[in-house]
Amino acid sequence: MTAALPLSKFRSLETPFYFYDTALLDQTLCAIKEQTVSRPAFHVHYAVKACTNPKVLTHIVNAGLGADCVSGGEIQACLDAGFPANKIVFAGVGKADWEINLALEAGIGCFNVESVPELQVINELATLKNCIARVCFRINPDVGAHTHSNITTGLAENKFGIAMQDMEHVIALTRSMSHVHFSGLHFHIGSQILQMDDFAALCLRINELQDRLEQQGFGPVEHINVGGGLGIDYADPDAHPIPDFQSYFQTYASQLKLRPGQQLHFELGRAIVGQCGSLITRCLYVKEGSEKSFAIVDAGMTELIRPALYHALHRIQNFDSQGSEMPYDVVGPICESSDVFAADYPLAETRRGNLLAIRSAGAYGETMASQYNCRRLPASYTTEDLT
Ligand code: LLP
């Protein structure tokens, strides 16, 4: 990918900033299309929380994907970007009234409901607007995924979703309500999942649940939504710039027993935008500590919080040095000792002014940026901007 980076353009820009390789993004979207075109029941909604940059959203709209939103702000960003309202789904455990009203007025495709009290409020607000809200229920499948504990969501102890054993009761309750239409079941087991067995385990749970519901006279449902979660290669993004969509979709095609006419929704975030984004930063100082060398860069946890929050390791490249590799602690300027991108990281000998890329930062990078320490939010550029 390095060859595709417009390095000479980077040099004239103030750092830090995000760069999105939109050619890679388009290739990634094509790879998804290759897998879904022959499977007309498969629909991908991009999990907007991963990256809401409008220039990135435009490419995703153009590829025909829907959107998975978790806030009124995200719904508005998607409407502004041109996503058709009926391809927007709205999830989240704490939907505020104004957000539900915005979604009803826009006519979104479906609410992914996470509790009975929320269902009741959606029914009340839809009644006031004299419209019918399509809902599906997020079910906690109690499937553990092999990923970081902060981003596992499918376990019973988690705050997300409704317990599987309560489903019959909740569906019956929905049928007694006048302004909601029960349309499907929603699942999500976690993020940055690389073992297809985890998705296969989810399929097994869904198969069991569908059988059970149908035996009780509930079903078959119109659609199943399996959430997102497909991971990316943070260690070697150049070896795997595009995730293994073939295995991912094939796992669902072979393991999930879809009923005739039933639609299958996916909510992929990281797998779509993760590898196309890099955080570009400059080395401000190299400080020789008593035991370590610190490469102090001008980006920090305010621009990319994943290392501080999840101990995530992103690949770091120095564009300006051919020197031999040495171990550095690559740190930001923020007044927090967790503001460390990587410890003892092998980097070509680094000097003040060197331009560095922190790779695989397209997902949950710019969207999680903050203004802590009165910092400015980072600028962003795409391939189109710099050619
Ligand atoms: N659907 C639901 C219901 C979700 O909760 C999520 C992510 C997704 C879809 C998209 O998951 P993906 O395909 O991107 O794995 N900030 C963390 C990740 C948090 C993920 C939250 N939910 C990180 O930087 O790793």
**Best residue for ligand 1 mutational test, from 32, 49, 225 (most atoms within 8 Å of Cβ):** 49
Model pTM? 0.96
**Best residue for ligand 1 mutational test, from 88, 192, 267, 275 (most atoms within 8 Å of Cβ):** 267
pLDDT at 155: 56
pLDDT at 152: 56
Q: Whose CA is nearest to atom 19 of ligand 1?
A: 151
Q: Whose CA is nearest to atom 23 of ligand 1?
A: 364
pLDDT at 145: 62
| Alpha helices (H) along the chain | 7-11, 22-36, 54-62, 72-81, 97-106, 116-129, 167-175, 196-215, 245-255, 270-273, 306-310
Rounded CA gap, 91 and 85, in Å? 14
Domain spanning 23-272, CATH architecture: Alpha-Beta Barrel (3.20)
Domain boundaries, the chain: 23-272, 275-386
Instruction: Give me Rg for the CA atoms of the chain.
Output: 22
Task: Give the ligand 1 atom nearest the CA of 271.
Answer: 13
378: DSSP letter: P
CA 228 to centroid of ligand 1, rounded, Å:
7
CA 188 to centroid of ligand 1, rounded, Å:
9
CA 229 to centroid of ligand 1, rounded, Å:
6
pLDDT at 166: 87
| Regions of the chain with pLDDT less than 70 | 1-4, 144-158
pLDDT at 2: 45
CATH number of 275-386: 2.40.37.10
The count of residues in the chain is 387
3-state secondary structure of 163: strand
End-to-end CA distance of the chain: 16
Instruction: Give the residues across from 152 on adjacent strands.
Output: 190
Residue 23: partners with Cβ closer than 8 Å, 6 or more residues away: 4, 383
- Pocket around ligand 1 at a 6 A CB cut-off: 47, 50, 68, 91, 151, 153, 188, 191-192, 227-230, 267-271, 306, 310, 363-364
pLDDT at 4: 67
CA 131 to centroid of ligand 1, rounded, Å:
30
| Closest C-alpha to 316, from 283, 293, 270, 271 | 283
pLDDT at 342: 98
pLDDT at 147: 61
Rounded CA gap, 300 and 334, in Å? 6
Task: Give the ligand 1 atom nearest the CA of 368.
Answer: 16
